[in-house]
Amino acid sequence: MSSTIKCVILDDEILAISYLKLLCEQIENVEVVKAFNNPEIFFSEINNLDCTVCILDIEMPGMNGLQVAESISDSKKIIFTTAYKEYAAEAFDLNVVDYVRKPIQKERLIQAFEKVKQINSNSAKKDFIDWNTNMGKTIIFTEQIAHIKTSEIDSRDKEITLKDNSNIILKNLNFRSLLEMLPAKDFAQINKKEIIAISAIKIFSTTEVVTNIKTNQENFLKLHVGETYKNALLEVFGNK
């Protein structure tokens, strides 16, 4: 039996909430725990609700969905809904699961929940990633991954460098979801745009990582360590 995805909805428009609830009720193994039309009330209750997914409208008076997402625990996955495509890049920078354009179609919402299920499934396996890539549906064994960075062509995509120096592009996947797929003891995010395999690190300081990934015959890839990621990197080594 498939586990139920429990979600909450936040949208300032009552009609939009009613429509979204109706769609969710038509999707198997999806349960709407509660719906809110006020961000302040949402914040006062969200930590006490049994849910794993927050469906957030972006355009709201007072506090928009992007601001709400920044304050939600990483344990809760986020699906954005909006009529405005210009928010897409900023939304994915916040590591949300999906970004669904209004008017919302049932089939598109199903796709968003399928991403949630895929992330949950891969989180349990922890030994491979099963995702859409530039080569189609692909299984990538995590032990073969050396380095991951945000694609320079499309920030929603992530470029993986494997240990044989070949590259694969993960399509439409953010860092929050990607980190949940990776074994926590084997990988660390070192700045806003890069994740490194611990096995690929030769030496590191509080500001820089030197890897065993060759950029040419003589040089090895060096990466900047962001200020907010230093402690997390040290913790990974401390748990080794």
Q: What is the pLDDT along the chain (240 residues), one digit of tens a residue?
A: 358 999 999 999 999 999 999 999 999 999 999 999 999 999 999 988 999 999 999 988 888 888 888 888 777 899 999 887 766 656 655 668 888 999 999 999 999 999 888 877 665 556 888 899 999 889 999 999 999 999 999 999 999 999 999 999 999 998 888 888 888 888 989 999 999 999 999 998 889 999 999 887 778 999 999 988 887 777 777 655
User: Is residue 41 helix, strand or coil?
Assistant: helix
The tokens 């494997």 sit on which residue?
A: 162
Which residues does 89 contact at the CB level (< 8 Å), separation at least 6?
155, 156
Q: Quick check: 100 and 80 in contact, CB under 8 A? A: yes
Euclidean distance between CA atoms 158 and 152, whole angstroms: 9
Euclidean distance between CA atoms 117 and 124, whole angstroms: 11
Strand order in the sheet with 208-214: 201-204, 208-214, 220-224
pLDDT (0 to 100) of residue 1: 39
Q: Quick check: 14 and 37 in contact, CB under 8 A? A: yes
pLDDT (0 to 100) of residue 171: 94
pLDDT (0 to 100) of residue 104: 95
Cα–Cα distances (Å) from 224 to 38, 132, 154, 229, in that order, read 40, 28, 21, 10
Burial environment of residue 100 by CB neighbours within 10 A (0 to 12, 13 to 18, 19 or more): middle
The per-type count for the chain, helices as H runs and strands as E runs, is 7, 15
pLDDT (0 to 100) of residue 9: 98
Closest CA to 79 of 60, 47, 53, 105: 53
Domains of the chain: 5-123 (3.40.50.2300), 126-238 (2.40.50.1020)
User: Is residue 221 helix, strand or coil?
Assistant: strand
pLDDT (0 to 100) of residue 54: 96
Q: Which residues of 37-74 are buried (b: 16+ CB within 10 A; e: fewer)?
A: bebeebeeebeeeebbbbbbbbbbeebbbbebbeebee
